[in-house]
Amino acid sequence: MLLYKPFTPIVLIGLIVPAIAQTPVKIMPLGDSITEWGCWRAYLWDKLQQGGIKNIDFVGSVNSTTICSISDWDRNNEGHAGYLATDIANNNDLVGWLSSAAPDIVLMHLGTNDIANNKPTLEIITAFSTLVDQMRASKPTMTILVAKIIPLSFNNQSLVDLNNAISPWALSKTATASPIDVVDQYTGFSISDLRDGVHPNDSGDQKIANAWYLPLVNAINAIQAPVRVALEFTA
């Protein structure tokens, strides 16, 4: 398992070199309204394109109508406003989404609505395990990037408790064939980066995109190359 903390000074070990593959790497942004409505997906897509990572395809059953400053980007995603991770797991919603989209990589930012509805940490983490099992049933070599989620203007201690539980959970659940990497979207993200106490404003969207970028490039290159690139981030 790799833990990415993008908002501290970093030492990068390993070289990220875009690789060319015949089949585009399919990437599913999975989440709630923060994913469905967020322009971070546009910023992330543009950052990948500018970095020469072009042989990719964002996938999902949702085609976002969000208006962003980036005009040309892949809008497909699996963000569902109002959805709880616990409900997605209990209702087996992800099974159908995975069957239709067939992603190689999942970017998961879930748990905000669970926290807003006072779901306990253990119940959310159990739901995460169910979702990972469903991802691996869809593709045994699925690469899974799980976010420590962005702050809320309320119930934030419960959110911090969830975030603190994610790394040990991921370490226990990761597998060589199907790695789980944790991406810290919380550190360096402030309430001022929220437009309404829940959803990111433009500065927040850019921070989210920046945090996803290096872990995602590493995951893409690992799929397109025979050897997984190692990254280490230290303060």
Q: What is the 3-state secondary structure (H, E, C) of 18-52?
A: CCCCCCCEEEEEEECHHHHCCCHHHHHHHHHHHCC
- Provide the angle, in degrees to the nearest 10, between the axes of the packed helices 156-173 and 121-138: 40
| Interatomic CA distance for residues 190 and 230, integer angstroms | 29
User: What integer is the mean pLDDT of 19-46?
Assistant: 90
Whole-number pLDDT of residue 19 = 43
- Residues counted in the chain: 235
| Interatomic CA distance for residues 183 and 180, integer angstroms | 10
| Interatomic CA distance for residues 67 and 219, integer angstroms | 28
| Interatomic CA distance for residues 200 and 206, integer angstroms | 9
Are residues 147 and 185 in contact, defined by beta-carbon separation less than 8 angstroms?
yes
List pLDDT tens digits, range 112-141. Answer: 999 999 999 999 999 999 999 999 999 999
pLDDT range class, residue 160, cuts 50, 70, 90: very high
Whole-number pLDDT of residue 177 = 96
List pLDDT tens digits, range 202-229. Answer: 999 999 999 999 999 999 999 987 544 4
List pLDDT tens digits, range 76-104. Answer: 999 999 999 999 999 999 999 999 999 99
Sign of the CA dihedral with 110 first, then 199, 59, and 26 last: negative
Q: Could you give the percent of the chain with pLDDT greater than 70? A: 87
Q: Write the burial class of residue 153 (CB in 10 Å: 0-12 exposed, 13-18 middle, 19+ buried).
A: exposed
| Interatomic CA distance for residues 11 and 166, integer angstroms | 23
Q: Could you give the percent of the chain with pLDDT greater than 90? A: 83
pLDDT range class, residue 6, cuts 50, 70, 90: low
Whole-number pLDDT of residue 22 = 62
Which pTM value belongs to this model? 0.87
| Interatomic CA distance for residues 119 and 86, integer angstroms | 8
